[in-house]
Structure 1
Amino acid sequence: MSQTLEYKGYNGSVLYSAEDRTLHGRIVGIRDTVTYEGTNVSALEKNFKSAVDEYLAFCQAEGKTPGTPFKGSFNVRISQDLHKRAALYAEEHNRKLNAVVNDALQEYLTHSA
């Protein structure tokens, strides 16, 4: 099972490099690349929190709005046929395509967990 770190509304990945014998990761869900590493779990967690704090401080100093993780919208590329089928299903059931996709994703994640 994949684990993530969480701090101030940001999530961070947890990966292991056998070559370097270190844990490392990046903040997920934002456009900016923010990475961190550590030689053990405690160091990784500490460095993740420091990376988030430094990212927020950098954005404030630059007058930049920090990336908002998981805003609730993303682009998905699917086949033309699947797009057509989903759109026709939505139309036939008097629903918006976004609602159909949301329900399908919710159903998939509920049953695959």
Structure 2
Amino acid sequence: MTTAQPPSGAHPEPRTPSPQDFVDMQATPEFQELKKRLRGFVFPMAAFFLIWYAVYVLLGAYAHDFMATTVFGNINVGLLLGLAQFVTTFAITGIYVKFANRELDPRAAKIREELEGPLT
């Protein structure tokens, strides 16, 4: 009885890492660097956005006259700051995607390749 060999040039099946492989990988400098870079981006960006959102809510609750200041036509400061919340959300998302593509994904792919073998 013969075992089927993959055609020449075909990629081997990825191996399935054991739970211990994952634990061991978490202790490596590569994984620690990946985690450090992720946290270095996410925590400051989350803090920025939460502070920005809290300022908006507090202005809405306590600075009625300021938020009601007409900028032009029926558009007031409160409406512009509310719309800026959406703009900020989309901007942060775009910035994160660029950051992840440049900094996180290559490192994560390298770690995955170490665990599972070459990607097909």
> Under a length normalisation based on structure 1, what TM-score does the superposition of the two structures give?
0.23
Q: Give the alignment's TM-score, normalised by structure 2.
A: 0.22
Q: Report which of the two has the higher share of strand.
A: 1
**By percentage of residues, which structure has more helix?**
2
